[in-house]
């Protein structure tokens, strides 16, 4: 497993476990009733996600100017049930949201989008090409970059 895939796999597993734990707290059988079929309605990002022009170099500069530790690039799909769970469970927890917003800007990337973007090194490509290059073949996935543009 490469250097990027191991943390992503762990993060996906933690998100899945957290979702199941939150559901099981109300109903012990709820964790087994998770519907992972594609969503009928498009997923909406939290309002605190950064409104980016998809130039990650500029996003890193903004984070640095705000004394943040860097950016989090969120890779998702607008009809992804697991992404919805991340938004509705993990990103609704006050401690996670407070910590994340204080230390990072979150930039959403749609793994299927043909929309152009610029990576931290200045390379231009589609969001889809970036997702493939970064090996984010499971959604949701999060990559952390420090203010120097290094993958953490």
Write the pLDDT tens digit of every residue in 39-81.
577 678 999 999 999 999 999 999 999 999 999 999 999 888 8
- Show Cβ contacts of residue 80 under 8 Å, excluding neighbours closer than 6 positions: 38, 39, 43, 139, 140
Q: Which residue do the tokens 């998702």 mark?
A: 76
pTM of the full structure: 0.76
CA triplet 110, 2, 120: central angle to 5 degrees?
45
Given a cut of 50, is residue 1 above it in pLDDT? no
Residue 140 dihedral angles phi and psi, to the nearest 5°: -80, 150
- Show Cβ contacts of residue 72 under 8 Å, excluding neighbours closer than 6 positions: 100, 104, 105, 106, 107, 142, 143, 144, 145
């Amino acid at each position: 497993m490469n250097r990027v895939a191991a943390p992503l796999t762990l993060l996906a597993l933690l998100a899945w476990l957290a979702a199941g734990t939150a559901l099981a707290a109300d109903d012990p059988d709820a964790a087994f009733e998770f519907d992972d079929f594609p969503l009928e309605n498009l997923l909406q990002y939290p309002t605190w996600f950064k409104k980016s022009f998809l130039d990650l170099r500029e996003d890193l500069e903004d984070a640095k100017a705000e004394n943040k530790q860097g950016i989090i690039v969120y890779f998702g799909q607008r009809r992804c049930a697991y992404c919805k769970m991340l938004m509705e469970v993990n990103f609704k927890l006050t401690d996670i949201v407070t910590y994340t917003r204080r230390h990072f800007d979150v930039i959403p990337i749609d793994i299927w989008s043909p929309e152009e973007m610029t990576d931290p090194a200045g390379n231009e490509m589609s969001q889809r090409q970036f997702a493939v290059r970064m090996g984010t073949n499971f959604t949701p996935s999060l990559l952390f970059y420090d203010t120097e543009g290094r993958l953490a």
